[in-house]
């Protein structure tokens, strides 16, 4: 995955929002990373240090919330959290293709001043 490019996108969004709110510094950024998104949180953290240098977000705290994958089994009519990349229903062992949570990648919130 392209964590540097994604982090750059997040930072641009964050700087725009901070400016719109009349703020000059970003103190805190929170990203939500879905476990099925294919993005590696550690690589995002590494990328943040690089791309934030010299910007209003330099030195800000980066919080990465990992969102677990949740699937839905149409036979058992219930959601479950798979243990790994095999989305096997713990009840009937069918493999689910219905992912209800875990694919998102979002800039959740900012703390600015």
Partner 1 sequence: MCGTCRCQTDTSISTSEIAAHQLLQLHQNLLTKNDRLAEHNRTLFRHLLAINILSSPGAGKTTLVQRLLRERDLMAGADPLHSHPIPLQAGVIVGDLASDRDAQRLRQTGVPVVQINSGELCHLEADTVAQAAQQLDLANLHLLIIENVGNLVCPAAFDLGEDLRLVLMSVTEGEDKPLKYPTLFKTAHAVIISKIDLADMVGFKRDEALRHLHLIAPQALIFELSATTGEGLASFYAYLGQAIFQCRDKTP
Q: What six digits make up the tokens of 77?
A: 């009519």
Distance CA 65, CA 106 (A): 10
- Output the six-digit token pair for 1: 């995955």
Strand partners, 79: 72
Q: Which residue in the set 15, 17, 61, 76 belongs to the binding site for partner 1 (CB under 8 A)?
A: 17
Q: Which of residues 23-82 bind partner 1 (CB under 8 A)?
A: 23, 27, 31, 36-38
Chosen residue from 19, 81, 91, 113 binding partner 1 by CB under 8 A: 113
* CB-CB contact of 14 with 110 (8 Å): yes
Contact residues: partner 1, CB under 8 A:
1-2, 6, 9-10, 13, 17-18, 21, 23, 27, 31, 36-38, 85-86, 88, 95, 97, 104-113
């Amino acid at each position: 995955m392209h964590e540097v490019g994604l982090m750059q996108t997040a930072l641009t969004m964050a700087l725009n929002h901070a400016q719109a709110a009349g703020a000059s510094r970003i103190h805190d950024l929170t990203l939500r990373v879905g476990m099925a998104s294919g993005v590696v949180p550690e690589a995002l953290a590494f990328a943040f240090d690089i791309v934030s240098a010299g910007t209003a977000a330099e030195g800000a705290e980066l919080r990465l919330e990992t969102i677990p994958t949740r699937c839905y089994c149409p036979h058992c009519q219930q959601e479950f959290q798979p243990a790994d990349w095999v989305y096997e229903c713990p009840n009937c062992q069918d493999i689910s293709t219905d992912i209800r949570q875990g694919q998102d990648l979002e800039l959740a919130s900012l703390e600015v001043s």
